[in-house]
Structure 1
């Protein structure tokens, strides 16, 4: 009798209650490591739904050109996400979670208007430059044959970090090219790169934080800030 009542109660639940427990994709077709991990974790599935919802909002109102850029960004992020796979499952899933959290923040910021508050961004709002643009800060993709410093050593050792490192470098180069004729913003970008390199190394001694988590969050925050800055610029220069 009790079993029958339980079954009846479950059948009486509205369908959306079941639909919202899984990710945005069909887990029966999940083949890649990251997809299987998302299907196996309730919080990762929730993050996936959040990303999917923000993605629909952002792409739904984007121009054809913007949509192509967004799709390229999404493909690059999926490659980066998949690169989290590694021999230590706990570290790999932690990397996957942080990657998804960063992507969710990035897309949510775009969905809410293409930017975030100045306090949330590593790049402050553009102001008139008081001095010439400094020379580009030395930022290159990590050479794992000869890593220099603690941050580069961890980038080479931790799953997914090399792909994230390369993505940050690419975004810095893209931002430099995008704002080549804007001395004020270029100065801000170079200052942010200097801070970024310093903050990466400081993670080794971050009080109350796991150093590798601090490093990945610093890298993801830099990437998100650069992309928000470029998204804001695209929105303000869009032809009606």
Structure 2
């Protein structure tokens, strides 16, 4: 587990309020005075959020990525958040976690230019067949994807169609949603990582993923501006996925939500989860919602996903660990976003630490997101 760095937002927020060279000195947790400061220094989840916020500020303060007007806007947001939201929480950890997440979401929506995202927008998922200098061939995983696609003109045409529809869709997305979508597009050639190595099985796996990606992008474009109803719990069932990862006392389990309805509906966000110990006692502080874990990556805001009789699966992941103090054994109740109608109770007899849940994602992103 990563060691928490004791950072207090006041020192970090001062970065953009007062211009200075270099990175600001962090607050010394040994001198913490307020309930808020003690909560931040004593709670690993808050420490992790604080680190993410620090990285966000660093990105916003870089002259190559932001304009003076954007830095000024961020300063106003930070000042209002510090005095009007964060400090009102006192030492309430749940309140602080919500405040941090809301601020991260707000800053993520600012239209700054992330170098990786800009590069992803310029990159192509279409392999340059026959060109030995194709950057896609530098990666063994993407080279496998390129080999399969280049060997089948129909697949090559489908990949071109995916990219064409993605380019048409991108201007219609909000800045934060576009960042998430662009990251998905850039990662898609890594689909081959989760496929079998056998040549025929690899080809079949990649072909299935391409067909699914084309369907997902088409559905997103067609329904982005439509007021589709939210998917109902009674029309969804939960089952364990076949893809996952594990090591160093951590395990990522993937789960599929299967839609049994007929009319199209929309699902967006993180599944609601409730963690209980083995005896049924609630553990409200044992939940972390994050798009990225050590073995999965769904960066950016959760994108809406359309479910229908034709496209009836989405996925999410739950990361558990067993390196914390006993008692061991937890149960995790799962529901749809913003719901308490529990779909299932998952049992993890060897887990003891807080669990991390990832957003509900398009099924075409599963193999390229778990690594």
Structure with the bigger percentage of helix: 1
TM over 0.5: no
TM-score w.r.t. the length of structure 1 is: 0.44
Higher relative contact order, chain-length normalized (CA < 8 Å, sep 6+): 1
TM-score w.r.t. the length of structure 2 is: 0.30
Larger Rg belongs to: 2
Structure with the bigger percentage of strand: 2
